[in-house]
Amino acid sequence: MSKLVFARHGLSEWNQRNLFTGWADVDLAEQGVEEAIKAGQLIKEAGIKFDIAFTSVLKRAIKTTNYVLEFSDQLWVSVEKSWRLNERHYGGLTGLNKADAAAKHGEEQVHIWRRSYDTLPPEMPRDDKYSAHTDRRYALLDDSVIPDAENLKVTLERALPFWEDKIAPALKRGKNVFVGAHGNSIRALVKHIEQLSDDEIMKVEIPNFPPLVYDFDDNLKKFDKYYLNPNE
């Protein structure tokens, strides 16, 4: 048996302000720090020992990962960062207040952009201040793979190679894996793990807290799924 623990980053400053965040590199809010610390404490109380950890290249997920490892007394565990675990890119919606976006584009249109599996939001202009094309953390990537907008379908296509190359092989070797990531990158991997339909995954929400745990058999075909209970 192997364990995979997903922790969505704690509440961010933009979550708190109800802004579309995506690839914008915003920090954790004070509540988010507390959530990450509590997640680490829950993992420690559950006796879960990690062999390796993965996170995105966005600081809200990186800091969450660090807090989780620190407060589960596992700060020494190796951490690999990858852009493939980044949040979904919200394109031209990035930085907009969700209520303001609904007033501008209509609630129904914004709902489609947010919740449709395969409808793209408006693309972000390449000269936008939040554009990833000029961000040096992506300088080693081919410019053609850097997105200007993503839906959940594209997010899964981007995250799946990392699952196949890094996460799944570790689990198949019996390793316990921690992934500190984002609501939509985690949802994308959950869709793959559970073989959910396009409609089924749209009903799935990943909370900032508590952590989500999968217990797998050796071939990753059977699993138990549960959230760590902060009340136990």
pLDDT one-digit tens code per residue, 72-123: 999 999 999 999 999 999 999 999 999 989 988 899 999 899 888 999 999 9
Mean pLDDT across 5-20? 96
Task: Please give the model's pTM, rounded to 2 decimal places.
Answer: 0.95
Residue 31 has pLDDT above 80, yes or no: yes
Catalytic residue among 45, 80, 87, 105: 87
Alpha helices in the chain (DSSP H): 13-16, 30-46, 59-71, 98-105, 107-115, 152-162, 168-172, 183-194, 198-201
Mean pLDDT across 197-216? 95
Asked about 9 being catalytic, the answer comes back as yes
Catalytic residue among 9, 89, 150, 182: 9
Looking at domain 2-46+57-224, what is its CATH homologous superfamily? Phosphoglycerate mutase-like (3.40.50.1240)
Asked about 133 being catalytic, the answer comes back as no
Length of the chain: 232
Residue 74 structure tokens: 């596992």
d(CA 59, CA 53): 15
What are the domain boundaries of the chain? Answer: 2-46+57-224
